[in-house]
Amino acid sequence: MVENNVFDGIVESYEKWFKRNDKLLESELHAIKQMLPTKGKGIDIGVGTGIFASRLEIMDGIEPSPQMAAVARSRRVNFIEGVEL
């Protein structure tokens, strides 16, 4: 596992950015929804804090940052801790 993840330590600012830019978040969610299949199960690669996955009802993801994944878990997103090798 990666010892010094670039996203560790920025979780709070990441979340605040989306709160300040809620219209952009909603716009991105709308665009993504247009591309998702209407049935089946998906996985979010790089799930981050789960802000997208939870709203898109994608309940599984892969995330290398334990701090980001902890927030995703609080949003009921299951995750596997992983990185590209």
Which pLDDT score, from 0 to 100, does residue 39 have?
84
Q: Enumerate residues 6+ apart whose C-beta is below 8 A from 9.
A: 67
pLDDT band at 70 (very low <50, low <70, confident <90, very high): very high
The radius of gyration computed from the CA coordinates of the chain, to the nearest angstrom, equals: 13
Q: How far is CA 42 from CA 17, 19, 65, in A?
A: 25, 25, 20
pTM score: 0.81
Structure confidence by residue, pLDDT tens digits, 12-54: 999 999 999 999 999 999 999 999 988 888 899 999 999 999 9
Which pLDDT score, from 0 to 100, does residue 85 have?
61
